[in-house]
Amino acid sequence: MRPESSTIPALRSTLLAGFLVCLTVNDAMADMSDQAIERRVSELLGQMTLEEKVGQMNQVHSEGPSAVDHLRHSIQSGNIGSILNLVDVGAVNELQRIAVEESRLGIPLMVGRDVIHGFKTVMPIPLGQAASWNPDIVREGARVAALEAATAGINWTFAPMIDISRDARWGRIAEGFGEDAYLVSEMAVAMVEGFQGQDLTAPGSIAACAKHFAGYGAVESGRDYATTNVSEYEMRNYYLRPFKAAVDAGVTTLMASFADINGVPATGNEFLMRQVLRDEWGFDGFVVSDWDSVRQLAIHGLTANDRDSALAAATAGVDMEMFGQSYLQHLPDLVEDGSIDIATINAMVANILRAKFRLGLFENPYTDTSGLPEIANEHALATVQKAALQSVVMLKNDHDTLPLSPEQLDSVAIIGPLADAPYEQLGTWIFDGDRELSVTPLQAIQDMLRKKVSVRYVRAMDTSRSRISEAFDEAVEVASDSDVVLLFLGEESILSGEAHSRADINLPGDQAELVRRVREAGKPVVAVIMAGRPLTLTNIVDQVDAILFAWHPGTMGGPAIADLLFGIESPSGKLPVTFPRMVGQIPIYYNQKNTGKPPSAETVIHIDDIDQHAPQTSFGMTAFHLDAGYTPLFAFGHGLSYGSFEYDNLRVENPEVRPGGMLRVSVDLANTGKAAADEVVQLYVRDLVGNVTRPIRELKGFRRVRVEPGETTAVDFELHTDDLAFYGRDHKLITELGDFHLWIGGSSETDLRAEFRIVE
């Protein structure tokens, strides 16, 4: 059945005839083993002309119903292997019909779209999802997104973005999972599994694309598209690890980074695409360029023109060109004149065909929406609300200001530009997100209180970037007449994401002044901050009693925030990235090196404490900033709760373990508070001596645990010695003998420590 397009004729039963020599359609559907797929790929390749092969390497952009007329001839001619940004299921099905019935070999299309954190129903931004420290909810959210995207004919998403980033200035930090390779890897695997499902051929399963390969998150000064300089040590130990995890999880495709990496842009980087990805990891999916990045090799200065760029990218191992058409225009001639071997082209096209076979597109290229769930169904909304709930991080809660009790309130002031902003709460990269589905915090709080408590709302600022106005006076007046003030602050969705980097990551506009003015009303002030990145909150942190950092929480952010404010649920999010005190500390991250002069509370000198004409000396000096110290404002893994958690009795069952063995660790976790709550228990390790210096701490495990008031539970971890491996001086993966420290606690700053050794 082919719904949504009455012009599509019935699928011919002989769709695969002409190139499946010994397999019938039914046989092909039944036998999808790797061996069978390779046989089918080989048979199809053997019938393709050079132009048809290059056509499979060409991805084009087209939108709207006019795409059918615009692309018809090129698809009939075999010059297109993939389309992107078409979200009209009728048009997609018609283009698939043209591809399988009117082109010579009947090869179906890959249909791509940036489905980053939801389709119509929107999850929190990926950085917010990482704050949940819950791979299960990330997996389920990706599944919801895949099912919704499939209704538009999409069979390929350009996600997950798994770039490690230690720089909050970078706009695209919003799209990733933070600064830690272990946490990012866990989330990457979960999202790949959610998009692709247990069966890639099943309705609603779409191919995932791990991006941007690799090192993109290290762009200089956080400027998008800028140069990156990442040592091979850093690349292998941090930036590549999430990609390896995604490959091991069966990700169908990877996308090359825009950035110049150590002098060779990723799109032309053979070290990444061939040595690491193919030779070392054995990846057999395909690599797509980023938008027009093949032609941009000439702009970088790596090549002289589009022809040379096509040669460089193909030689490096970029299988498909997104937009640009330099492959289509130049690869045939490059083969004919011997600049590139036909065997190289064959291998790249085989990677693309293999993915199409694995997706089952040859058997079922069409989208039947009748077999897919409704958009924004009950399960979808419940999933995104749970994700929002678990992603919110309570940064501070002085005097137990939260949770609020409606029974003890007569009036609540809701102030700020993001309290009732249905579009802004969706965040970046939501091309298809439906703002009409959004439930804002103002709506949710009004619904929860049901006129039992007076709710007075003042927007105060038109946007997060607005300057002081007479509306500030109204905000102060309303705050003065209320029992508590809820300030909804942050940055609009457009202020983060691709090409939206910021040099100043304070709250934009005059929000800090709004906080100061409202504080003067003398009432408890709770700040709820929605943003696409960590912000420097030093100028407001002491002006508010509590802070909930909600990221951009998605469609159901309002109900989730309301439940947290009024104690229906306890905050349980933990920071997946370090919050600096000021922008000059960047890059700042928890797993830094010790240095030869490690800082401590005893060695830090503040700039205001230096005497005039003090003598210059290096004696006793350590690695810190005179005006910021050496600690962040909020550490990686930090997050408060309405429970009160105490860690005790950390024990290592086998403190001496041999290579290949398993370390077993336990800790007692008690909730001594009055509220049931989830705690994210985190395990960190330090390798004290290595053949290269090792970080002061590295995350090696975490568990989300529900603990009732008065309950104590044992939390267990198992750690294999392979989990302690790192890339040494020769860039080989090794696990060394020696002494280790181990910590378990509620953040990277925990001091509950044990020791163990790896011995012969």
CATH code of the domain in which 423 resides: 3.40.50.1700
Same domain, 622 and 661: no
The count of domains in the chain is 4
d(CA 556, CA 439): 6
In a domain, 444, yes or no: yes
In a domain, 75, yes or no: yes
Burial of 655 (0-12, 13-18, 19+ CB in 10 A): middle
CATH code: domain of residue 723: 2.60.40.10
Contact 638, 679 (CB under 8 A): no
Tell me which residue has tokens 């299960």: 136
Q: Indicate the Cα dihedral angle 350, 353, 354, 360, nearest 10°.
A: -170
Contact 109, 71 (CB under 8 A): no
Q: Which domain holds residue 611?
A: 591-631
Query: For residue 32, what pLDDT is reported?
Result: 66
Query: For residue 618, what pLDDT is reported?
Result: 83
Tell me which residue has tokens 């110049």: 260
- Angle at 95 (CA atoms; ends 89, 96), nearest 5 degrees: 85
What are the pLDDT digits (tens) for 529-553? Answer: 999 999 999 999 999 999 999 999 9
d(CA 466, CA 418): 12
Same domain, 389 and 289: no
- Nearest alpha-carbon partner for 637 in 696, 701, 684, 577: 577
Contact 576, 133 (CB under 8 A): yes
Same domain, 488 and 616: no
- Mean pLDDT per segment of 10 residues, for the chain of length 760 residues? 34 33 37 87 98 98 92 98 97 98 98 98 98 98 98 98 98 98 98 98 98 98 97 98 98 98 98 98 98 98 98 98 97 98 98 98 97 97 98 98 97 98 98 98 97 96 96 98 98 98 98 98 98 98 98 98 98 98 98 96 92 88 94 98 98 97 98 97 98 97 98 98 98 97 98 97
Tell me the pTM: 0.95
Alpha carbons within 13 A on the beta-carbon side of 166:
20
H or E segment and range at residue 713: strand 712-720
Query: For residue 451, what pLDDT is reported?
Result: 83
3-class secondary structure, 738: strand
Catalytic residue among 167, 290, 308, 563: 290
Same domain, 360 and 488: no
Contact 196, 252 (CB under 8 A): yes
Task: Return the structure tokens found at 394.
Answer: 């309570």
What secondary structure letter does DSSP report for 608?
Answer: G
Same domain, 627 and 736: no
Amino acid at position 634, single letter? F
In a domain, 76, yes or no: yes
| Pairing state between β 264-265 and 260-261 | antiparallel
Amino acid at position 503, single letter? A
Same domain, 170 and 208: yes
Contact 666, 752 (CB under 8 A): no
Query: For residue 620, what pLDDT is reported?
Result: 85
Output phi, psi for 709, to 5 deg: -55, 135
In a domain, 9, yes or no: no
CA distances from 360 to 21, 72, 149, 221 (A): 18, 23, 17, 43
Same domain, 266 and 165: yes
Same domain, 402 and 449: yes
- Nearest alpha-carbon partner for 715 in 662, 654, 668, 651: 668
Query: For residue 65, what pLDDT is reported?
Result: 83
CA distances from 743 to 313, 647, 659 (A): 45, 11, 21
Q: Answer whether the bond into residue 365 is a cis peptide, omega within 30°.
A: no
d(CA 118, CA 122): 4
751 belongs to the catalytic site: no
Same domain, 428 and 546: yes
Same domain, 252 and 173: yes
CA distances from 465 to 224, 475, 479, 512 (A): 21, 17, 21, 11
Query: For residue 15, what pLDDT is reported?
Result: 31
